[in-house]
A and B are shown apart, each in its own frame.
Chain A
Amino acid sequence: MKSVNKKIVLLGNEGVGKTSLVKQYVNSIFSDEYLTTIGIKISKKTIQIGEVAVNLMLWDIAGNMMNKTLYNNYLQGAHGILLVADAMRYETYESILLEKENHLSNDFKNAVTCVIINKSDLIPEADADYLKAFKYDYLTSAKNGDHVELAFQSMAEQILETSRT
């Protein structure tokens, strides 16, 4: 069976739930904590897409690393970038949008980029308009697992599709 390796980087402010998303999705984790000095955690998940086994290497970058020189190095060679924001903190959404527009769409335009709004379990049920202010690709909850698998799977499919063209 054919297999390929792909690199996905998770970006987003501190506390938006990047690590929890990875934890929810992956069962093979290098270290449960960020290696605090270098600000990164790497995990691996192998999934099946059609006839291909895709080894996803997930680079979870600590929120406080954003805007540092080193952070750019970690993004090098990424096939996909998952931008994660907290549904309860609008400023985290603004921050990833800014990052996407000013930086990623220029320097990493070949990478597939998706926006995830996490912590959907905290959105007040009565407030139907709550999400109107967000424009996103996936609404997830790392807490109960809602759409987590879907987000990673779809990203992997898009990456595979892009690499074929």
Chain B
Amino acid sequence: MLAAGCAAPPKAAAPSLFVVIPSSADGHVGKIVVTGGNDTRVIDTAYGAQRVDANGSLVPVKMTADTVRQDFGTTLAALPGFPASFMLYFLEGKDELTPESKAELQKVFAELRKRPLPDIAVIGHTDTVGGLAYNDRLSLARAERMREMMAGMGIPAERIQAAGRGKRELLVPTDDNMAEPRNRRVEISVR
């Protein structure tokens, strides 16, 4: 009911407030552009804020980390976790992880456990040793192997998309038929 029939008349509309906050991931301060009535203002400072009154006029407001916590605490607490991505590396010509990456896998699993219902994309890659078709198969086998391991820890397989990119997307550009450990990898992104 509440959602229906609220057009956006410029006059006598409910006032609103816009605030830029530092990124909870890296502290980066972004930029927004607010337009109300005939006024347009850019906000590009941490806790910079503009209030738009019922007539569409803009008034700067001073917000702080504390006032944001007070007014938006419940809202911010519901923000989902940031997408995370991981890179794991494989032994040459195999769908078996390097010993270092086997250890790194625990971090991936820990991240997955933190998320109630993760969407996961696993993209396999190879180095340039061998033909296109061989590497397409190998990259997919690597991605599928990761998918099996994740399914083995209880993540529903339908939430995991696996794809192989063969040698099309090299992390380190090389000539053809070059063994390069950094290209033999899977990228895992967790949303």
Are A and B co-members of a single complex?
Answer: no
B: residues with CB less than 8 A from A are none
